Chains A and B, each alone.
Chain A
């Protein structure tokens, strides 16, 4: 606050005499605000030596796999680990009037029994996307592009299959016209052009 105060008034602050909290809006509203932290500390919140600037900081773990916190005394810290994908496959499939792209992802989660929560996040581009999560079909939420699903922590593996398909009604025409040209060549026994 020393720096902000000096930048604002070209003077150094000595002390704080009062603090005021306020909330407002046009009077046809009913709103609330929640402060989980409103703390004047003698040092900023730092984690592993990095100053924290957002509500969900990513941590760079050192060799000792320790998180070191300074600036704000904590009783419980909510730690989120993004698990590595064990298997990933992306392929395309053709049928007479349809092309499909199948994405398959697999995670081994047997080592996470001591965790509290397991959530899967992924993007869905089209409303017609088919989703299979551990062999159960799930429906995408049309309200949001980034989907979120809570998974039972007891699952020993998680398999997600994402299928997108497009109807290709002109593909039979391609095949038929190719055969027709071939037949025509046979009939007249020469290439037409």
Chain B
């Protein structure tokens, strides 16, 4: 213990300790900031946010004491300002020690209390849900209605991914397949029923196992009778993509158009298993590609 105190009395050793504690604080602040960024969130494991409350309080007290000690050292060593305390009697020393212990304990306990009472609340929400069968679509009115009773003052939402639609696809008839880097017969395009009884299109890409080679499976339906479109024509998409092991998955829907001048153009809406959001033109400006971001949870688009 005596040896430790003699080491700590050394001015150089004090500066080394102060710098180490300040560096640790800088690491803590940096990792906290990095954890806010999506791609480098893993840096947060280096942070101190997972420490128990008491340890955090001790660490913060140590940091504050270090800052005060640094100010004291700089005042003495750089600005040549020194404080010479008047000699204290034993009784005064005892009283001062008790006062210091009391102040530190009160500050630390108050900080712990403040951090507990200012913690975010659980903010619970109780959701009750059920299926409703809409009625309507009569006398030329193309709307359907659902009547909800006894729900005054409550928030109401719909979950489209659990709803069942009467005619959800415009085009799903027989078409041409094309594929690259797949296992023969394992990739497919099919229409099936979900476990909730929803009719859905399911597509699968099963690669041949090659790493670093981009494979694909596509299914194209050429329309014998082209679909005429008006000014309000809207493409509605409700889809979900399985994430890949290496963030390379994507899916798209490509629509070939004829313009009023009879020239061929195409629009492609592509969805990935990672965040992205941009547009680019290809095929000499006759195709526009819209990359609309992550679709690993159900997403809905109303594209007019």
Interface, chain A (partner B; CB < 8 A): 1-5, 8-9, 11-45, 47, 51-59, 61, 64-85, 90, 92, 99, 101, 103, 105, 107, 109, 111-112, 114-126, 128, 151, 153, 158, 160, 162, 164-171, 173-174, 177-178, 180-181, 184, 188, 192-193
Whether the Cβ atoms of A160 and B226 lie closer than 8 Å is no
Q: Counting chain A CB atoms within 10 Å of each CB, which of B94, B167, B299 scores highest?
A: B167
Indicate whether B155 reaches chain A with its CB closer than 8 angstroms: yes
Cβ of B18 within 8 Å of any chain A Cβ, yes or no, is no
Chain A residues with CB under 8 A of B241: 23, 31-33
Task: Return B221 CB to nearest CB of chain A, in Å.
Answer: 5
Q: Which of B53, B155, B256, B265 contacts A82 (CB 8 A)?
A: B155
Partner of A30, one of B112, B207, B236: B207
Collect the chain A residues with CB atoms within 8 Å of residue B230's CB: 2, 42
Q: How far is the CA of A152 from the CA of B112 in the complex (A)?
A: 38
CA gap between A43 and B125 in the complex, in Å: 34
Nearest residue (CB) in A for B104 is A170
Q: Is the CB of A14 within 8 A of B158?
A: no
CB A95 to nearest CB in B, in angstroms, measures 13
B155 near A74 (CB under 8 angstroms)?
A: no
Given A53-B302, A125-B120, verify A80-B157 contact (CB < 8 Å). yes
With A5-B267, A16-B229 as contacts: A74 and B163 at CB distance below 8 Å:
yes
Q: Given A19, A56, A64, which contacts B170 in the complex, CB threshold below 8 Å?
A: A19
Contact present for B265 and A11 (CB under 8 Å): yes
- Shortest A149–chain B CB gap in Å is 10
State which of A9, A23, A51, A83 has its C-beta within 8 Å of the C-beta of B265: A9
Known contacts A16-B223, A83-B128; decide if A164 and B116 are in contact (CB<8 Å).
yes
Chain A residue contacts of B198, Cβ below 8 A: 36
Q: A27-B213, A65-B151, A75-B133 are in contact. Are A5 and B265 (CB under 8 A)?
A: yes
Asked if B264 is at the interface (CB within 8 A of a chain A CB), the reply is yes
| Alpha-carbon distance between A20 and B219 when the two chains are bound, in angstroms | 6
Residues of A within 8 A of B52 (CB): 128, 167
In the complex, are the beta carbons of A81 and B54 less than 8 A apart?
no
By beta carbon, the residue of chain B nearest A133 is B124
Check: B215 CB closer than 8 A to any chain A CB: yes
- Size of the B side of the interface (Cβ < 8 Å), in residues, is 153
Interface flags, B127-162, vs A, CB<8A=1, else 0: 111111110010000111111111101111111111
A79 pairs with B204, CB closer than 8 A: no
Cβ of B92 within 8 Å of any chain A Cβ, yes or no, is yes
Give the nearest-CB partner of B245 in chain A: A29
CB of B258 closer than 8 Å to a CB of A: yes
- The distance from the CB of A169 to the nearest CB of chain B, in whole angstroms, is 6
B21 proximal to A (CB < 8 A): no
Which chain B residue lies CB-closest to A131? B122
Q: How far is the CB of B237 from chain A (nearest CB, A)?
A: 6
Among B122, B210, B263, chain A packs the most CB atoms within 10 A around the CB of B122
Do residues A76 and B128 form an inter-chain contact, with CB atoms below 8 A? no
Q: How far is the CA of A158 from the CA of B112 in the complex (A)?
A: 31
In the complex, besides A14-B258, A24-B215, A51-B302, 7 extra interface pairs with C-beta distance below 8 angstroms are A22-B253, A26-B244, A33-B242, A55-B159, A56-B158, A82-B126, A116-B130
Nearest neighbor of B240 in chain A, beta-carbon distance: A34
Known: A27-B213, A28-B210. A37 touches B165 (CB 8 A): yes
B257 near A16 with CB under 8 A, answer yes
Q: Does B171 contact A (CB under 8 A)?
A: yes
**Chain B nearest CB, measured from A5 CB (Å):** 6
A83 touches B127 (CB 8 A): yes
A15/B229 in contact, CB under 8 A:
yes
Q: List 20 A-B contacts (CB under 8 A).
A: A1-B304, A2-B230, A11-B265, A16-B226, A19-B223, A21-B189, A31-B204, A31-B205, A33-B239, A34-B202, A37-B169, A37-B238, A38-B253, A42-B234, A45-B300, A55-B159, A67-B156, A68-B145, A92-B116, A174-B109
Question: Among the listed B120, B151, B200, B226, which residue makes an inter-chain contact with A81, where contact means beta carbons less than 8 Å apart?
Answer: B151
Q: Which of B164, B210, B237, B299 contacts A75 (CB 8 A)?
A: B164
